[in-house]
Structure 1
Amino acid sequence: MNATSPKLRGVNLGSWLLLEKWMVPSLFEGLEATDETTFCAELGPAAAERLRGHWNRWVTREDFAWLAERGLNAVRIPYGHWIFGPDYPWHRAYGEHRHPFVEGGIDVLDRAMDWAQEFGLRVMLDLHAAPGCQNGFDNGGIMGVCEWHTQPEYLEHALSVLERIAERYRNHPALHAIECLNEPRWDVPTDYLKSFYLAAYERIRRHCPAERVAVVFHDGFRSFREYVGFMQAPEYRNVIFDLHRYQCFDRRDIDSDIFAHMAKAGGEWRDEADAINAELGLPAVCGEWSLGLDLRVVSLWAEGPFNHALEHMDEFQQHVANRGYAASQLLAFEKYLGWFFWSYKTETTPAWCFRDCVERGWLPSDFR
């Protein structure tokens, strides 16, 4: 098995082993917390029971079965740098708790790997939050902080977690790929990022041979052309380039109507895929995308105004618009080695919930 066959069609199992408040608002009720770090720091010892209950409920064996029944063949599983327990460097956001994070996530991940194997799903394991936070987003573990690239011990811990993940699952039949780091921010220097990716590749390859496991790196919100010539064969093998594509964060996108959204997906993003396939020398995946167009529902930080393309449509028009936007994105991302919808499940935001999108008819009911 290698990274190039067959096409990966999958979902992210978001807000499971790494919380995002907008996806599971019920878990944060009554708390000031904005992310998993402050959730654990604020609750202290009480965090364990609440979070372990969430781990057991949010994604189950039945969910893996449901995905497989619909012809999906892959899942991307985000996790935090604390997955193995308390050996991570301290950060001031932890307050007086030296090790605030709840332990036991690795057992949940073990179970997920076995479920994936049972139902024939391939797994991309994704280091989604690095020590010190690599992007300042809630999904990086500490909202408003981006310091991962400023301390050697943060870098080293991230590398050691990747190596331990590689060592633990090296022989697991479900392991398809290991992603070095999710969404390092645009102002993390490109040279720093590249040297981290090269070091991560080396750590992962100590345990996972190229013929079995792909190594994935994210574009860091910069042009793919900054990576032309990077991590090429024969020295580097089975490497995948990851990009994430959304149309709800940038003001120009927010002000677009649905026709412009579909044109961007079916035009600009199609052309981008053709260019990447022609120039980069690496297979690529769109590791995150959604039908989300309304910034208000995902953002703990945005100022607004919260206009969006569907706000003045009736229910039928919204339904057709969602189907059209879904189809134009899918057709673009099918040009790649594969794609992963963000996310499998949310509590209150159907356009970001794969299961809702399928059940409402916005996405196909069969992906074979």
Structure 2
Amino acid sequence: MALSDDTMRGVNLGGWLVLERYIKPSLFTVPECFDKGLHDPDVCTNDVDDAYPQDQWTLTGLFKNKDDARKYLKDHWANFVKEDDIIRIKNAGLGYVRIPVGHWIMGDISPDEPYVDGEWGDFVRVVKLCRKHGIQVWVDLHTAPGSQNGFDNSGRTLPTPTGVGWSGNPENVDRTIKAVRDIAEGIKQEGIEDVVTGFGVLNEPFKGQNEAQVKDFDDRAYRAVREVLGEGTTVYIADMFDAERFNGFWDDEEHGNTVLDSHYYHVFAQTPRGFSPRQHIAYVCEKNSRDVNACCWKGGGAGGGTSVGLKRMIGEWSVSFDTLVCTKLDDVMDSYREGGEVLEFTRKIGEKRKKFLRNFAEAQMVAWESQDTGVSVGWFYWNFKMEGGAFAEWDYLRGVEEGWMPTLKAEEKAEHVFGRCEEIIFRTDDEMDIVHEFPPSDSVAPDWQAVEADDDVVVSHGESLLTKGSRERGDGIVLGFLSLVVFLLLGLGIAKKCCVRYFGGAGGKGGYQRVGEVGGVGEVA
């Protein structure tokens, strides 16, 4: 099915067929290997005092026999995604799910890989449930031999982020092409291509590897999908964490019905975790919105007409904003080992925090649907559900039930319902008491995702939008007085959306001067 004019809205079924331990931490406790009363040295390779596994590689590698590893995972495959989950997704107003799968799913596992297969039947089961309830499936090849990024979501965590073990190894690239083809052929043989309408050829190849090699893989994988599933299946590719580098790529009729996939998070980089609530919204309105519109344009130039090939989508995003998953996860896993109550398993989200989460979600939906340009076809939230409460902000279905995740009807547009992104800034309380930065920024060394948030709208918590409007209109004293009134109203939390419209909320994305001698955003939050 080719892309329609309707906005695509969906969730990821993450942590199911490609394991991520923060989604379901209990799965990684493996009682047969770590519980002193149940430890079986004939089954497990580890000592009972070893650390818990951190990814799919180390989890399946715990077992001496692959049959035992497969047996351990079968219950998870059969029960983590049930019909009730699909019904809840449908009732939340969503029409799509994105399903990450491993390169091993069709049985191509080399002797040195500890992975096990056996999950294909459950994949087909869930696809048929989606058909029953009117939901389309976009499958996503989430892993590659050698690891395309070094993250746990590739199946195997490496010491540092890198994809050269994949892209720099022709045999691994060829195996990945084979996985794409085998999955496509499996979809066709099962007769489910009417439901599986999108195919992602590889999730998040790391930005540091050879761009030409990645793009060559994309083209080969695209042709493999087309040869098996035809023109009706949308093929999507990852942006290597920099969408602009794909401007002009696949800008031709031959590559129609294709999409560039970007993932935007605030929580993994050090600086945004210290943002104030309004700064998070401002960052969405400014930096994230510009990134969404960085591609894909005819001829490779922004604003030069929509590409006849690549469109855009946001395949992953979240409202998690102040807690670094991997660091908090260490504490969660320690609580499993210590016994008793699991850390924050029954955690509740306070009402003030819920109010911010809703505004944060609304701003992102407005940005991702990109009404100004029309280049974005839609989005998928990460994730559909979570185990426990430590990472509750990642749980879309919980958010819908608790009211902090907004819903939209299929015919509605986010901006028409929620207002312009800049308007959301000024209806967001800017109190720092809901921000619980974990770990503190000064305790973590900057990583590859380090950002410099020096946009004046972000630094000023949105207030530069008001002064910009005043400068452009030249109304001088009158607007200066009204600005003072607005700031007083904002302080009381009763300013109306009309204030933003009048004072320059329509200033637009990219129309602001960058601040020169300003310290890190963490210093001004």
Both structures adopt the same fold (TM-score exceeding 0.5): yes
Kindly report which structure 2 residues correspond to 1:272-351, keeping only aligned pairs within 5 A, or say none.
272-276=291-295, 278=297, 279=302, 281=307, 282-299=310-327, 315-335=350-370, 336-348=376-388, 349-351=391-393
CA distance in 2, matches of 1:126, 1:82: 13
The C-alpha deviation readout for 1:13-58, integer Å capped at 9, x for no partner, is 0000010011111011146211011100113433222211111111
Change in 2 beyond 3 A, CA 1:133/1:301: farther
The one-letter code matched in structure 2 to 1:265 is V
The question of whether the paired residues in 2 share the 8 Å contact of 1:11 and 1:340 is answered with: yes
Give the aligned partner of residue 137 of structure 2. 123
Distance 1:285 1:204 in 2: 19
Partner of 1:310: none
Deviation at 1:271, TM superposition (A): 3.1
Whole-angstrom distance in 1 between the partners of 2:170 and 2:291: 35
1:3–1:176 CA contact under 8 A, matched in 2 = no
Choose from 44, 50, 69 the match for 2:72: 50
State the secondary structure of the residue aligned to 2:137.
Answer: strand
1:8 maps to 8
Indicate the larger mover: 356-365 or 182-191: 356-365
SS of residue in 2 equivalent to 1:215: strand
Aligned to 1:176: 197
Secondary structure of 1:332's counterpart equals helix
Look up the equivalent residue of 1:258 and give its one-letter code. Answer: P
Counterpart of 1:260, as a letter, is: Q
- Match in the other structure for 2:263: 244
Distance 2:81 2:329 in 1: 27
Cα separation, partners in 2 of 1:151 and 1:89, compared to 1, 3 Å: farther
Query: Following the alignment from structure 2 to structure 1, what is the Cα–Cα distance between the partners of residues 70 and 260?
Result: 36
Q: Is the 8 A contact 2:267 2:324 kept in 1?
A: no
Superposition pairs for residues 32-111 of structure 1, below 5 Å?
A: 32-45=52-65, 46-85=68-107, 87-91=108-112, 94=113, 100-111=114-125
Q: CA deviation at 1:365?
A: 4.3
Which one-letter code corresponds to 2:10 in the other structure?
A: G
CA 1:296 to 1:21, structure 2 compared with 1: closer, same or farther past 3 Å? same
Alignment CA distance shift 1:301-1:56 (3 Å): closer
* Count of equivalent residues: 348
Point out where structure 1 has 5 or more consecutive residues left out of the alignment: 95-99, 303-313
Q: What is the root-mean-square deviation in Å for CA atoms of aligned residues?
A: 2.1
Query: Deviation string for 1:128-156 (max 9, x for gaps)?
Result: 01111111111111101641122211111
Structure 2: tracts of 5 or more residues without a match = 35-50, 331-348, 371-375, 411-525
Q: 1:220 to 1:90 in 2, by over 3 A?
A: farther
Larger mean CA deviation between 264-273 and 61-70 belongs to: 264-273
Partner of 2:207: 186
Give yes or no for contact 1:22–1:300 (8 Å, CA) kept in 2: no
Whole-angstrom CA distance in 2 between matches of 1:360 and 1:190: 43
What residue is the counterpart of 1:97 in the other structure?
none
Is the 8 Å Cα contact of residues 246 and 296 (structure 2) preserved in structure 1?
Answer: no
- Distance in 2, Cα, partners of 1:355 & 1:177: 23
Q: Normalization by structure 2: what TM-score? A: 0.63
The one-character-per-residue Cα deviations of 1:45-75 (angstroms, maximum 9, x if unpaired) are 3322221111111101121111112221000
- Aligned counterparts of 2:57 and 2:5: Cα–Cα separation in 1: 38
Asked if 1:163 is matched to 2:181, the reply is yes
1:315-367 Cα offsets, whole Å, 9 max, x none, are 23212111111111111112220100000011131101111111121112454
What do the CA deviations read for 1:279-323 (whole angstroms, capped 9, x no partner)?
362211100001111333345899xxxxxxxxxxx9232121111
In structure 2, do the counterparts of structure 1 residues 21 and 300 end up closer, same or farther at CA, with 3 Å as the change threshold? farther
Moved more, 293-302 or 237-246: 293-302
| Contact 1:12/1:340 (<8 A) preserved | yes
The structural deviation recorded for 1:103 is 2.4
Question: Looking at CA atoms only, which structure, 1 or 2, has the larger radius of gyration?
Answer: 2
Greater relative contact order: 1 or 2 (C-alpha under 8 angstroms, separation 6 or more)?
A: 1
Could you tell me which residue of structure 1 aligns to residue 287 of structure 2? 268
Aligned-partner Cα distance in 2 for 1:60–1:116 = 11
| 1:80/1:130 contact within 8 Å kept | yes
Distance 1:297 1:39, change over 3 A: same
Letter in 2 for 1:18: V
Q: Distance in 2 between matches of 1:353 and 1:156?
A: 36
Q: CA deviation at 1:277?
A: 5.5
2: CA distance, partners of 1:160 / 1:150: 17
User: Could you tell me how far apart the structure 2 residues matched to 1:90 and 1:295 are?
Assistant: 38
Q: Secondary structure at the match of 2:197?
A: strand
Q: Say which SS state the counterpart of residue 320 (structure 2) adopts.
A: coil
Q: Could you tell me how far apart the structure 2 residues matched to 1:321 and 1:32 are?
A: 34
